[in-house]
Amino acid sequence: MMDEFEQDALVSGAFAEFGAAVAPSVRPAGTLAVRGEVQHRRKVRATALGVVIALAIAVPVAAYAALGRGSQAPPIPAATGSPSPVASPAASAPASSTDPGAAAPDGQLTIAQLTAGKVDIPRWTQRASCPSGQQRMTRQAGVPVRAGAKSIGIYAVAYANLDSDPALETAALVNCSIGEVSTTRVLVFDRDAHGGIVTEGELANGYIWSISAAAGGVAVDISDTVACCDAPKATEIHQTRTYGWNGTAYAQISGPKAFSIHTKPTDLELRVVSAQWQAPRNGMRTGTLKFKVVNNGPYASNMYLVTDSSRLSTASYPQHAGLAAGSSATVTITVHIPEGWPATNLYITVTELGVGGATGDRAPQNNWKNPPGW
């Protein structure tokens, strides 16, 4: 845009050209004529200035109009002075975790939050009589696979990324106790866009003793069986397996996948090496018994136990490493047997762990022996 001095020069130049053209035919008319001429020139100057300013405004606007309605807004003059306050946008509710463009809700829930109301419990595939649907869980302590009331207990939680969004979810170790042994599983809980608790599904099930966060998911201490009643604790095989989200579903992502290293029967044999008995004391006799365990094949064996199968001894028995086909190992155990117990009812057995049914021992008759010297 032209400033005031440029406008004045433009108008003055126009009058100068006009004067030069008409001066020869113009005669002075005295003081009044001069005054009239001055007034007339001021009027013309003002009119010309108005035309120039109007053109300066009209040209950009006409150019913008030529761009069409769908184009950008016309240029806005630079702001001067203090800026006007701009209202902040209203806070919106958290977006659903299923919205790929929204922040994922925080799915880390405490046991107190999970037991504050009813949650959705998927159907129990291991035991149909356990309650499912909208149920209230109760906080429990102790060992999840042990006995309890017919209810859904929650024992522990662990936090891991268990779906396709970057936020963490909650894995909960829960059980349904009916009788002496419980049914246990790990369920995944999250929050929806409105903060409500939603059940994502079942991460793992089996005889689960504890859970913890691990790389890629949740580590689970799981056993093949539970040493119920008078069975020794050593009959359980425990493994650590990690379960997580594989991109499409929950799955095991690390750790052993089976409790047995073979799928067909093998043959462990127990042979007596020696037996030494002490004199009775406080109604009990103590014996130190040595055996040879032989794997007759045709496959490598699982871990195994050599135990007092009459369940009379107060001793604890260790697990032994598996044997290759054709190999053997010497095992010594100490037993404490009530005095006067019939010798024919006392027998020691070798038991391969983690197998049963079709994968049991091919010759069970050579798995046990009556110890000599009783």
CA 191, 193, 198, 200 torsion-angle sign: negative
> In the structure, what pLDDT confidence band is assigned to residue 80 with cuts at 50, 70 and 90?
very low
Is residue 349 a contact partner of residue 270, using CB atoms and an 8 Å limit? yes
For the ranges 84-88, 194-198, 304-308, 367-371, the lowest mean pLDDT is seen at 84-88
Is residue 331 a contact partner of residue 302, using CB atoms and an 8 Å limit? no
Rounded distance between C-alpha atoms, residue 343 and residue 6, angstroms: 129
Is residue 163 a contact partner of residue 143, using CB atoms and an 8 Å limit? no
For the ranges 39-48, 128-137, 209-218, the lowest mean pLDDT is seen at 39-48
Is residue 218 a contact partner of residue 255, using CB atoms and an 8 Å limit? no
Per the model's pLDDT, the better-predicted residue between 339 and 179 turns out to be 339
pLDDT tens profile 86-127: 222 222 223 334 455 567 788 999 999 999 999 999 999 888
Rounded distance between C-alpha atoms, residue 183 and residue 129, angstroms: 11
Per the model's pLDDT, the better-predicted residue between 157 and 84 turns out to be 157
Rounded distance between C-alpha atoms, residue 316 and residue 232, angstroms: 7
Token readout for 84 is 């006007």
Strand pairing partners for 202? 187
Is residue 210 a contact partner of residue 221, using CB atoms and an 8 Å limit? yes
Tokens 């391969």 sit on residue: 352
Is residue 329 a contact partner of residue 306, using CB atoms and an 8 Å limit? no
User: Given a cut of 90, is residue 12 above it in pLDDT?
Assistant: no
**CATH class of the region 268-369:** mainly beta
Collapse the DSSP code of 197 into the 3-class scheme (helix H, G, I; strand E, B; otherwise coil) and give the result: strand
CB under 8 Å to 354, separation ≥6 — which residues? Answer: 224, 237, 259, 260, 302, 303
Q: What percent of the chain has pLDDT over 70?
A: 71
Per domain, the residue ranges of the chain are 4-59, 111-254, 268-369
Q: Taking the C-alpha atoms of 254, 257, 259 and 263 in order, what is their torsion angle to the nearest 10 degrees?
A: -150
Question: Is 0.75 topped by the overall pTM?
Answer: no
For the CA atoms of the chain, what is the radius of gyration?
Answer: 47
Tokens 């919106």 sit on residue: 92
Rounded distance between C-alpha atoms, residue 54 and residue 106, angstroms: 61
pLDDT tens profile 324-365: 999 999 999 999 888 888 877 888 999 999 987 778 899 999
Rounded distance between C-alpha atoms, residue 137 and residue 144, angstroms: 13
Rounded distance between C-alpha atoms, residue 318 and residue 286, angstroms: 18
Rounded distance between C-alpha atoms, residue 167 and residue 173, angstroms: 20
Among candidate residues 223, 225, 280, 220, the one with its CA nearest the CA of residue 252: 220
Strand pairing partners for 250? 245
Residue 158 CB neighbours (<10 A):
22
pLDDT of residue 73: 34
Structure letter (DSSP) for residue 343? G
Displacement of CA 224 from its chain's centroid (Å): 25
Token readout for 334 is 């100490």
Angle, alpha carbons 306-308-309 (nearest 5°): 100
Is residue 151 a contact partner of residue 140, using CB atoms and an 8 Å limit? no
| One-letter amino acid of 55 | L
Among candidate residues 336, 357, 216, the one with its CA nearest the CA of residue 285: 336
